[in-house]
């Protein structure tokens, strides 16, 4: 059944309103054939999120996940920010994520294969998926990223989507820099972005003078 056929069925079933659901179905059907990275989970209903925390060399990382995927990886500035929902449990996927992060910071891992999923618009999903194609130890400018997505004029939208990424390090938004090679911005702070880039550059090239 095509997109128009699905619309007709939906309209007969729900003739009064339901505009939001109608729009969501349209987006899912329209973009269902987009090429995505293997570790992205297909569109699904968000399950209840559990949390655990990992003290990395550059700060505490908050790991949010379910039985199926990781949906959040972000820095917190203090232990007092650590929270646990009722019924919280550390799932095998979250344990796998923690183990892979330890390997990454030890210099023993360059690619993450833990399953991930985060809500976003179709454009944001395209940007996040493209970030996964940036090799370990390499950087790309916001302009080049926009060009790879087929629209050099979308550089501001690309930068905004990059900033909305909720799964840092695994979805390596830190590898995107300014056209003039400046660090520009990073939700975890420029000091962490510099550390991550130098850490990767050192493992690949044996030196630590990228910035």
The verdict on whether 19 is a catalytic residue reads no
User: What is the C-alpha separation between 158 and 153, in angstroms, rounded?
Assistant: 9
List phi, psi (to 5°) of 85.
-70, 160
Residue 159 is inside which H or E element, if any? helix 155-164
Signed CA dihedral, 184, 185, 189, 192: sign only: negative
Task: For residue 102, give every residue at least 6 positions away whose Cβ sits within 8 Å of its Cβ, in sequence order, or none.
Answer: 54
Q: Pick the catalytic residue: 71, 97, 168, 173?
A: 173
* CA–CA distance, 97 with 101 (Å, rounded to integer): 6
Terminal-to-terminal C-alpha distance of the chain: 53
Which positions are catalytic?
173
């Amino acid at each position: 059944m095509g997109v128009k056929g699905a619309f007709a069925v939906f309209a007969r079933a729900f003739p009064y309103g339901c505009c939001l659901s109608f729009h969501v179905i349209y987006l899912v059907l329209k973009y269902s054939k987009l090429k995505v990275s293997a570790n992205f989970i297909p569109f699904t209903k968000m399950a209840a999120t559990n949390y655990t925390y990992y003290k990395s060399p550059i700060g505490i990382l908050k790991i949010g996940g379910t039985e199926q995927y990781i949906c959040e990886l972000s820095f917190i500035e203090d232990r007092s920010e650590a929270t646990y929902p009722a019924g919280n449990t550390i799932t095998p996927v979250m344990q796998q994520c923690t183990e892979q992060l330890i390997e990454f910071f030890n210099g023993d891992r360059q690619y993450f294969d833990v399953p991930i999923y985060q809500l976003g618009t179709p454009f944001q999903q395209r940007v996040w998926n493209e970030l996964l194609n940036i090799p370990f130890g390499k950087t790309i400018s916001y302009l080049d990223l926009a060009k790879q997505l087929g629209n050099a004029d979308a550089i501001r939208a690309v930068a905004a989507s990059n900033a909305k990424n909720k799964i840092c390090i695994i979805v390596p938004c830190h590898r995107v820099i300014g056209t003039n090679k400046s660090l520009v911005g990073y939700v975890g702070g420029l000091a962490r972005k510099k550390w991550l880039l130098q850490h990767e550059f050192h493992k690949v090239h044996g030196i630590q003078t990228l910035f």
